[in-house]
Structure 1
Amino acid sequence: MSLDGRYDADNIFAKIIRGEIPCVKVFEDDQVLVFMDVFPQARGHMLVISKTSQARNLLEAEAKTLGRLIGATQKAAAAVVAALKPDGVVVTQFNGAPAGQTVFHLHFHVIPRYEGEGLGRHGEGGMANVEDLKALAAKISAAL
């Protein structure tokens, strides 16, 4: 999918927001949802999404939405550092399929990095164990 197009209200993140597909929540408010990535690139990989915007990417997003998302992304990164003690944190965001975007709903990735551990490939790793994700989410949530 290119940078141009229409928002698909049936994308997986829209379905998660509507409660049609489950997720392992870390935290949420009326505008933002942070949840564990089920195809994590590293232990503790989270996604930060807008619950209100229909922007498919950063280029379509309203400035106010971006402010809320980056604030939530910072909060998620600080919580994962406090909870899991990684050696670093990657914050990334993709725009368009050629850039690596696979879900066309604006989102940020918060990926803890651990010295000596490789980073899994975006969207290509195996699905994580849900119970493991729940334990990680509880630990990260407790650090908020």
Structure 2
Amino acid sequence: MFARILAAVACGLLFGAGLVVSDMINPARVLAFLDITGNWDPSLAFVMGGALIPSSIAYLIRNKRRAPVFDTTFHVPANGKPDGRLVGGAVLFGLGWGLVGLCPGPAIAALTTGRWEAVLFVAAMLGGMIAYRFTLGRPMPAYTSR
């Protein structure tokens, strides 16, 4: 159990460090990337493209293993088809990212900067999660073992 928690913390720290190094915690850089008609900054396209390399390797490794290192099975969604909740969530995610220049991962990493905007964003995000859970929340979709 301790090894599993330690691995999760290490992965989270590595992910957060990558967000900081790539400057994805800077809303101005993200908004400049999204501004394709103005002063477009393509640098985040390279960050996202670079993320495909380790992700692709991880999928290849996953397909050759029966189970992850610190669990008994892989947990993947049972339904691989998009539904209304997925599409709606993607739309909200995209709107939030486009309006503010932050999304959940970079916002949490941006807390290390101490900027009030990051604190406000994370507080609003957590408030939205809590409000959803108490109003529209339904059980999470089933996962299958692979």
Higher strand share: 1
Asked if these proteins are the same fold (TM beyond 0.5), I'd say no
Larger of the two Rg values belongs to structure: 2
TM-score by length of 2: 0.29
